[in-house]
Amino acid sequence: MPASASGRTCSYTEQMPLLVAEPLDACRPLEAHNYAGSAVLVSRGACSFADKAAALQAANASLAIVYNDAPGCMVMATNGSGPANSSLVAVSVSSATGALLLTEAARGASVSAWAPQYSRLDAGALVLWAIAVATVVGAALWAGHDYSREALSAGAGADTEGEEKAAVGSVEVQEISVVGAVVFVVFASTMLLLLFFFLNHVFAVVLAVLFSLASMQALVALFAAALARGVPTLQGLALQLPLATGSGWAWPLQDLMGVALMLLILRQFRLPSIKVASVLLPLCFLYDIFWVFLQPLLIGGPSVMVATGGASHEMLPVLLLVPRLQGPPSAYSMLGYGDVVLPGLLLVYLRIFDVQHRRRGLRGYLPPAAVGYATGLLLTYGALYLSLGGDQGQPALLYLVPCTLGLSLVLARLRGDLGAMWAGSAPDPKAADPLDLAASPGAPERGTLLA
């Protein structure tokens, strides 16, 4: 989900006496003192945060300070089960701060809570926007280059399976069918529910290890020559990721690995026609809208998509992350891989169509679609800033699909290419523009190409 901040305002509570809850965990009614209008120090554990909030609300407390019972950070959440119309302010602090506050409470200290309020947009989101746009455009150009290499091989009369595979590199291209598009959306919804209800630390580590191994393959494919000697070191870094997804230094490595993985996916999987794109992308469009906006209205509770991570609050490596430049230290601008890969499949198809039909520059379909993707992502950030539909985030495909698929369909109709795109006419390798074939520097032959 995209997010950032350009400014901030602050609000303060009045000074209030600091008292210690009795019982300390606030899992039973608080009757030992008059807690009305007070800040109450509470330990974590023994019951849910919602139960603690209900007990403090019943005691007319004004501020709950929940301190951790172990080193590190904690995330407080009630998953929509907290007391209704609560005016209670809640703050979480570390175990060390909790110990200090216990000492100060014994001395009769008073406290005030400060709540910085940040704008939903931040300059870090522009960095995320640039990464996403560069990824989809780079993947489309790479796929077009692969197709051009295939055209060169066919034009040279390559007639063996080994020569044809060499023309497109070591990645075997798979085409996505209409049935595959439908199955993908069903599978994605099933996985989303499984992650929401059953995700725990062990499951998260397994997913992170699988991500690390897959992205290692992608990095090797992307930088094969340059990384020939550095792969063991990189592998060591990659395998540290499952243990450090929450660390402040992990996001650049995770983003690099994620971009490489998305490039590999977009190189390996292709749409055979715009008809398949017209099934896949609208289904994903509806999927995004349902799980972000409609599901909370129909069955209550938080959005499954936004809240995925469950009570364990695990950080899964399925997002591009950029720290907010003006926000809390742990806040990030985020964008899901699906918001890059799904529109990217369309841009890859359009680039190959351009190569097949010798469409260059603005006469092609890739440049308008790339502008449409960049615009759709900006519209997503704008909707996030305006909190359209609530504060639960924005379904990026709501804006990306019309700006990419919609624009491409209209443009193809106006240019008279919609029939060929819809039918998915068989590629003619000999029709590829020779200017799209890039020679490899330092190769023994002029026609040798980059892998």
Number of Cβ within a 10 Å radius of residue 127: 17
Which positions ≥6 away from 402 have C-beta within 8 Å?
Answer: 376
Rounded-to-integer distance, Cα 171 and Cα 219, Å: 13
Per-residue pLDDT, 120: 64
- Range from 11-25, 102-116, 390-404, 422-436 carrying the lowest mean pLDDT: 422-436
- Range from 82-96, 164-178, 249-263 carrying the lowest mean pLDDT: 164-178
Residues 182 and 89 occupy one common structural domain: no
Most confidently modeled of 56-65, 76-85, 114-123? Answer: 56-65
pLDDT at 166 over 60: no
pLDDT at 248 over 90: no
pLDDT at 356 over 70: yes
Query: Domain range holding 244?
Result: 124-436
Residues 214 and 236 occupy one common structural domain: yes
Domain count, the chain: 2
Per-residue pLDDT, 388: 81
Q: Quick check: is 271 in a domain?
A: yes
Residues 411 and 384 occupy one common structural domain: yes
Per-residue pLDDT, 5: 32
Higher pLDDT, 114 or 432: 114
Higher pLDDT, 423 or 192: 423
Residues 114 and 192 occupy one common structural domain: no
Q: Which of 98, 91, 51 has its CA nearest to residue 70?
A: 98
Local confidence band at 84 (pLDDT 50, 70, 90 cut-offs): low
pLDDT at 430 over 60: no
∠ CA(241), CA(242), CA(246), 5° rounding?
75
Of residues 51, 146, 255, 288, which has the active-site annotation?
Answer: 288
Average pLDDT, the chain: 76
Contact call for residues 19 and 3 (beta carbons, < 8 A): no
Per-residue pLDDT, 152: 73
Local confidence band at 443 (pLDDT 50, 70, 90 cut-offs): very low
User: Among the three residues 72, 92, 118, which one is the final residue of a domain in this structure?
Assistant: 118
Mean pLDDT of 113-135: 82
Local confidence band at 60 (pLDDT 50, 70, 90 cut-offs): confident
Local confidence band at 70 (pLDDT 50, 70, 90 cut-offs): low
Higher pLDDT, 21 or 85: 21
User: Among the three residues 118, 145, 177, which one is the final residue of a domain in this structure?
Assistant: 118
Tokens for 188, please give them: 């994605």
Q: Which of 19, 89, 91, 82 has its CA nearest to residue 51?
A: 82
Tracing tokens 């904690």 back to the chain, one arrives at 74
- Range from 110-114, 236-240, 349-353 carrying the lowest mean pLDDT: 236-240
Local confidence band at 446 (pLDDT 50, 70, 90 cut-offs): very low
HSE toward the beta carbon, residue 329, CA cutoff 13 A: 5
Per-residue pLDDT, 276: 95
Per-residue pLDDT, 119: 65
Q: Quick check: is 43 in a domain?
A: yes
Per-residue pLDDT, 220: 72
Residues 51 and 154 occupy one common structural domain: no
Mean pLDDT of 275-299: 87
pLDDT at 370 over 90: yes
Q: Quick check: is 357 in a domain?
A: yes
Residues 112 and 53 occupy one common structural domain: yes
Q: Quick check: is 1 in a domain?
A: no
Percentage, residues of the chain above pLDDT 90: 25
Tokens for 92, please give them: 């979480």
Mean pLDDT of 9-17: 68
Residues 313 and 369 occupy one common structural domain: yes
Residues 97 and 160 occupy one common structural domain: no
Q: pTM of the predicted model, to two decimals?
A: 0.70
Peptide bond into 23 cis (omega under 30): yes
User: Among the three residues 75, 102, 118, which one is the final residue of a domain in this structure?
Assistant: 118
Mean pLDDT of 312-329: 70
Most confidently modeled of 140-154, 185-199, 321-335, 342-356? Answer: 342-356
Q: Quick check: is 129 in a domain?
A: yes
Higher pLDDT, 89 or 248: 89
Q: What is the 3-state secondary structure (H, E, C) of the chain?
A: CCCECCCEEEEECCCEEEEECCCCCCCCCCCCCCCCCCEEEEECCCCCHHHHHHHHHHCCCCEEEEECCCCCCCCCCCCCCCCCCCCCEEEEECHHHHHHHHHHHHCCCEECCEEEEECCECCHHHHHHHHHHHHHHHHHHHHHHHHHHHHHHHHCCCCCHHHHHHHHCCCCCEECCHHHHHHHHHHHHHHHHHHHHHCCHHHHHHHHHHHHHHHHHHHHHHCCCCCCCCHHHHHHHHHHHHHCCCCCCHHHHHHHHHHHHHHHHHHHEECCCHHHHHHHHHHHHHHHHHHHHHHHHHHCCCCHHHHCCHHHCCCCCCEEEEECCCCCCCCEEEEECHHHHHHHHHHHHHHHHHHHCCCCHHHCCHHHHHHHHHHHHHHHHHHHHHCCCCCCCCCCHHHHHHHHHHHHHHHHHHHCCHHHHHHCCCCCHHHCCHHHCCECCCCCCCCCECC
Is residue 25 among the annotated active site residues? no
Residues 106 and 176 occupy one common structural domain: no
Mean pLDDT of 213-231: 65
Q: Quick check: is 64 in a domain?
A: yes
Q: Quick check: is 230 in a domain?
A: yes
Tokens for 303, please give them: 């959005």
Of residues 51, 339, 354, 436, which has the active-site annotation?
Answer: 339
Mean pLDDT of 129-158: 83
Rounded-to-integer distance, Cα 401 and Cα 201, Å: 34
Which positions ≥6 away from 386 have C-beta within 8 Å?
Answer: none
Classify the phi-psi angles of 72: left when phi > 0, otherwise alpha if psi is within -120 to 50, otherwise beta.
Answer: left
Percentage, residues of the chain above pLDDT 70: 68
Residues 236 and 140 occupy one common structural domain: yes
Residue 48 belongs to domain with CATH number? 3.50.30.30
Residues 130 and 33 occupy one common structural domain: no
Higher pLDDT, 343 or 217: 343
Mean pLDDT of 130-137: 96
Is residue 391 among the annotated active site residues? no
Most confidently modeled of 292-296, 328-332, 347-351, 353-357? Answer: 347-351
Local confidence band at 73 (pLDDT 50, 70, 90 cut-offs): low
HSE toward the beta carbon, residue 171, CA cutoff 13 A: 26
Residues 105 and 145 occupy one common structural domain: no
Q: Quick check: is 2 in a domain?
A: no
